Structure 1
Amino acid sequence: MLFSDAAAEYMADKQKRLRATTLEGYRSAIRCHLMPQWGEREIESINFEEVQDWVDSFDLPGAAEKAYKTFRQIYRWILRRRQLRIWDVTQGVELPRKPTVRRPVLTAAQERETLRGIVGQPFEAAVLLSATLGLRRCESCAVRIEDVDWRSGWVHVQRGLHAVGGEVIETECKTKLSDRRLKLPRFALERLRMIRGSRRSGRLCLLDPNAVARRFRSFCRRHGLPHVPMTCLRHSWATISLEHGAAIEDIAVALGHSTVNTAMSHYLQSFRTVVARASSSYASAMAG
């Protein structure tokens, strides 16, 4: 059986179960990385050494991981589906080591300056939600007026907005824990009330996530405002919250993570304040 046939069969089956954004990621990996290498190969003829050499040939560790995991998904799925009694050549494959990534973050002072500078812009609502709640870009663009308790400031995060195949679609949250309720700070609630105006329904931000990211970046550069990519506003929220006394467990819940380790490894950039706080607590105990 050709690998191209296996990939087509796999995608036809997963079309019924996976989110549109996940399917789009698989299509991209299959088109760009898997078909050129394995498309015309018989499944039974692929061996471990070839797979390892292919993984090692990538320049970027992230691209290697994405391509290999997609290949493994399809390969193992077709082995089960067709009950092929052959050795699983994906066992033991080693991925390249990823370098430590330090994403740029804004300080509290920088974020205040940026939020003041973008007042009145069509992307303001999405940026404000990402910055003050730590939302993913897709989540902040999908928040609707009906999702907000306009008295208390609680926001129900329950969907994402994505650009897939030239269309903008809404999907359910990434995980069960991503469906959560978060509380806006008072200044953000008041500003969003002004943005809402007399509207009683619809999305707070009328732009799609890609347009928000482009316009936000361009506006900040033109006006000399502190800027990080929209994704890094989420990192900034976690880091600022941690450095000003929030518990790591609370941050993980607010971000919609299943474990504290995810928040620790992906979003927290600076631990100096945390370590200083722990040292101060120890010193106070010893002094007592």
Structure 2
Amino acid sequence: MAVVDLWHTGKPKRRTALYGKGLRWQARWRDHGVQRKKNFATKDAAELWDAERKLTPAQRATRTTVGDQWPKWIGGKVLKATTAADYRQKWRLHVEPQWGDRTIASITHSEVAGWVGDVTARTSPTTARRCFVVLSGIIRSAILDGVADADPTAAITLPRVTAAEVAPLTPAQLATMADLCRPHHLVVWTLGLTGIRFGEMAALTVADLQGRRLVVSKSITEVEAKLVTSTPKTGRSRRVPLPAWLADDLAAHVAGRDPQAPLFPTQRGGVWRSSSFKRVWEPARKAAGLRVRVHDLRHTAASIAIGQGADAKKVQAMLGHASAAMTLDLYSHLDEGALMAVADRIGNAVPRPEAP
């Protein structure tokens, strides 16, 4: 590697054809036999960069902090807006205060393990796991960039996340909530009978109602007070079937409206935010005497479908899960009737033993 003056050449120095044009100083080096170069305004900047290039990963790690590597890691990732916002929040609240000024080489495995335990105790296992994703991602990107040679986040035991038990509404409770949410009852019926996500519902337009199907191809999410449109969670669109009577009610609901208008507009004609729909949902929920979230309408649709004999693959297609395994993990306990039938068949296959 070398630093070259592009404006002068020879001894004594003579001006080159590049004199006064562009950046004056150029660092040159060979990378796997190929010459590379980078220009700088000052000789000091070029020589500093040249010196940094010559450092070994271990030497770079003694200088590179977690805060130095954070923008390189987050800037190089392709993320949904909600995920990116979550990572930025975890960095700001938990990762940067603890690790931002620390050099990567100074961080030990036991320190990371202790920090994960501390974040778990102060917040939740889910938050701790997400914070760990940010820290470990930053350090691993530093290793790939050649500015670190050891990973103190390797083999860390993460807290187990206990999934909350799914609590769907009964059909009668669903009908009560829909009635109490009038004039937005069709939102409740649609969420509770199709299982689409709230953001997918908010993104639907009149044109997405196609007979007895809803075309779910977008999702609208509120991120840092702004509405962001993206693909559904799995990245794939789907066509969700509607009960005949709900399809008829929706057809009457959209008659004569602009095809690009929201299928379910707010009272002002705009797009629903989850925060604004809570102002409809919460008074209705309290009036019904229920402890349920809007998201529980998704579980309600799954529960009703399973109760009517739908198998895991059909429920997966309706809900837009990435796999049938995910559907089974969430909802297999709801099919108590099928499990009891299996127990009966096992009992029939094995005769009752005679009493001694």
8 Å Cα contact 1:62-1:98 kept in structure 2: yes
Residue 144 of structure 1 corresponds to 205
**Counterparts in 2 of 1:213-224, with a 5 A limit?**
213-224=277-288
Residue 57 of structure 2 corresponds to none
Asked if residue 37 in structure 1 is aligned to residue 98 in structure 2, the reply is yes
Partner residue of 1:53 out of 114, 133, 136: 114
Do the aligned partners of residues 39 and 61 (structure 1) sit closer, same or farther apart at CA in structure 2, a change above 3 Å counting?
same
Structure index of larger Rg:
2
Partner residue of 1:157 out of 216, 226, 231: 216
8 Å Cα contact 1:126-1:141 kept in structure 2: no
1:279 Cα deviation from its structure 2 partner: 4.2
Partner residue of 1:19 out of 76, 80, 83: 80
Q: Secondary structure at the match of 1:203?
A: coil
Give aligned-pair identity as a percent: 24
8 Å Cα contact 1:102-1:269 kept in structure 2: no
1:283 Cα deviation from its structure 2 partner: 7.4
Which consecutive segments of 4 or more residues in structure 1 shift more than 4 A? 279-286
Q: Secondary structure at the match of 1:169?
A: strand
TM-score w.r.t. the length of structure 2 is: 0.72
1 or 2 for the larger relative contact order (CA 8 Å, sep ≥6)?
1
Residue 112 of structure 1 corresponds to 175
1:61 Cα deviation from its structure 2 partner: 0.9
1:73-96 Cα deviation digits (max 9, x unpaired) = 22212221x223522122110111
1:129 Cα deviation from its structure 2 partner: 2.4
8 Å Cα contact 2:315-2:327 kept in structure 1: yes
Asked if residue 2 in structure 1 is aligned to residue 73 in structure 2, the reply is no
8 Å Cα contact 1:106-1:227 kept in structure 2: no
Asked if residue 181 in structure 1 is aligned to residue 251 in structure 2, the reply is no
| Structure 1 alignment gaps of length 5 or more | none
**Counterparts in 2 of 1:230-241, with a 5 A limit?**
230-241=294-305
| Structure 2 alignment gaps of length 5 or more | 1-63, 266-270, 351-356
TM-score w.r.t. the length of structure 1 is: 0.87
1:281 Cα deviation from its structure 2 partner: 6.1
1:191-232 Cα deviation digits (max 9, x unpaired) = 222332421321112343323541233231353265621211
Inter-partner Cα distance in structure 2 for 1:22 and 1:226: 31
Inter-partner Cα distance in structure 2 for 1:212 and 1:272: 36
* 1:188 alignment partner AA: L
8 Å Cα contact 1:30-1:67 kept in structure 2: yes
In terms of fraction of residues, the more strand-rich structure is 2
